[in-house]
Amino acid sequence: MKPPATAPGPRYSASLELLRLSEALWNATRLFLTRWELSPSQFNVLNLLDDRPAGCTQIELSRQLITHRSNVTGLLDRLAARGLIERRVVAGDRRVFNIVLTTSGKELMKRIQPEYYRALEQIWGSAGTNDARQFVSSFSRVVENAHRIAKEASQKTKKQGAAYARDD
């Protein structure tokens, strides 16, 4: 087992750069989408649904978006008010809705996506497709590790909370 790090190393610098990259991409996407009056989160919902012609449930969407179901409800409410998505009751369970793009939502995505893809190509600049594939591979491993560590931390916090409650 390796001894704990006592000073930041290259992985710390890489983590900071990833956070800066995330913020920069979010901001560029936010500004790009203003002409369609969409937030990046709303665009992500539409983009996920565009890949699923049969739609998906709100729970499936929240898992894909990595956000709480209650946040997804507000996003869906705003998109439904604009006529871009619709909720359909799932047969056999009136509590569950299948979320699908409307015709207007599909048309909007057809207008946005080509421009968005071009903008992303410009953002990547001279980095090649092999670089992009390598980034995806590396980032996927880092994401898996981050999820595992967050889960472990959450479980420790719950155990500590239970221990404190027993002390009362």
Q: What is the mean pLDDT of residues 36-49?
A: 94
pLDDT 10s digits, 95-147? 788 999 999 999 999 999 999 999 999 998 888 888 889 988 888 998 899 88
Q: Which has more confidence, 166 or 31? A: 31
What is d(CA 132, CA 15) in angstroms, rounded to the nearest whole number? 17
Q: Which residues pair with 87 in a beta bridge?
A: 99
**Number of alpha helices (DSSP H) and beta strands (DSSP E) in the chain:** 6, 3
- The string of DSSP letters for 66-127 reads TS-HHHHHHHHHHHHHTTSEEEEEETTEEEEEEEEE-HHHHHHHHHHHHHHHHHHHHHHTT-
DSSP annotation of 34 reads: G
Nearest C-alpha neighbor of 38 from the set 119, 117, 108: 108
Cβ atoms 46, 29 nearer than 8 A:
no
pLDDT 10s digits, 21-30? 989 999 999 9
pLDDT 10s digits, 62-102? 888 866 767 888 999 999 999 999 999 888 777 788 999 99
